[in-house]
């Protein structure tokens, strides 16, 4: 049946409590849907199917073609059945959500493994020794971990670019040697991962060949 105010189900949702109908033919609160009239319904009652978190999954109704005065114990019985239905709906909802989360986790894991393979190959091309390879690979991996940690702290909603710069830069040099002036924005997971690697490469170049290679230089990072 429809959820509009002209139906008993819709009216039940609107008042947010059980509704008892003594005689649908003389009912003034709502007209009643064609389904009930087509089945010559006279009396009935309806309750909300409500989850433990207060979410309303729908309405459960019981109707009869013979006039009947429903009592509170009838409402309680129907409400008990509604609770059972709500538990079943909730279990199904969380099962579907769990399946979706597993799929998302699998997708992200594949992406992460692809990134790690890429980091390993890139570090191998740049390395001059095994020690240099390990140091380069671990540095890049640490930058990725920093981005993931920021995303985890925000429940995956985004990572502050200002905080990301602070952490990645601070992992290679004392923070006092980096001047930051950045308009902060929130990076999505892909953007945070990419930016962490870009920052790491820039900082590495500065350590090897630029301002930090002299032992007393400074770097200014401006972001707009």
For residue 50, what pLDDT is reported?
A: 92
For residue range 33-84, what is the model confidence (pLDDT) as tens digits? 788 888 999 999 999 999 888 888 899 999 999 999 999 999 999 999 999 9
User: What is the full DSSP assignment across 25-88?
Assistant: GG--S----HHHHHTT--EEEEEEEE-TTS-EEEEEEEEESS-----HHHHHHHHHHHHHHHHH
For residue 3, what pLDDT is reported?
A: 78
Smallest CA-to-CA distance from 59 within 2, 105, 111, 134 is with: 2
Q: Is the pLDDT of residue 175 over 70?
A: no
Helix (H) or strand (E) holding 20: strand 19-21
The position carrying tokens 């538990």 is 87
pLDDT > 70: what percent of the chain?
99
For residue range 181-196, what is the model confidence (pLDDT) as tens digits? 888 889 888 888 888 9
**Dihedral sign computed on CA atoms, order 20, 25, 29, 33:** positive
The rounded mean pLDDT for the chain is 87
Q: Is the pLDDT of residue 113 over 90?
A: no
For residue 218, what pLDDT is reported?
A: 86
Overall average pLDDT of the 81-96 stretch: 91
For residue range 8-28, what is the model confidence (pLDDT) as tens digits? 889 999 999 999 999 998 988
Cβ of 52: how many Cβ atoms within 10 Å? 9
For residue 74, what pLDDT is reported?
A: 95
Overall average pLDDT of the 90-96 stretch: 88
User: What is the full DSSP assignment across 99-112?
Assistant: HHHHHHHHHHHHHH
């Amino acid at each position: 049946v429809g959820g509009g105010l002209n139906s008993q189900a819709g009216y039940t949702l609107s008042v947010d409590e059980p509704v008892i109908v003594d005689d649908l033919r003389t009912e003034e609160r709502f007209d009643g849907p064609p389904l009930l009239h087509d089945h010559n319904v006279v009396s009935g009652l309806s309750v909300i199917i409500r989850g433990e978190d207060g979410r309303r999954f729908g309405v459960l109704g019981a109707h009869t073609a013979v006039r009947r005065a429903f009592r509170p114990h009838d409402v309680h019985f129907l409400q008990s059945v509604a609770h059972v239905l709500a538990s079943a709906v909730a279990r199904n909802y969380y099962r579907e959500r769990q399946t979706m989360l597993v799929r998302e986790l699998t997708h992200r894991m594949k992406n992460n493994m692809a990134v790690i393979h890429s980091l390993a190959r890139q570090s191998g091309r740049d390395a001059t020794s095994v020690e240099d390879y390990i140091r380069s690979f671990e540095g890049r991996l640490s930058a990725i971990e920093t981005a993931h940690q920021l995303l985890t702290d925000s429940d995956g909603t985004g990572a502050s670019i200002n905080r990301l710069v602070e952490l990645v830069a601070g992992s290679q040099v004392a923070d006092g040697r980096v001047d930051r002036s950045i308009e902060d924005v929130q990076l999505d997971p892909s953007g945070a991962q990419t930016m962490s690697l870009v920052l790491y490469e820039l900082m590495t170049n500065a350590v090897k060949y630029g301002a930090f290679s002299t032992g007393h230089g400074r770097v200014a990072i401006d972001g707009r």
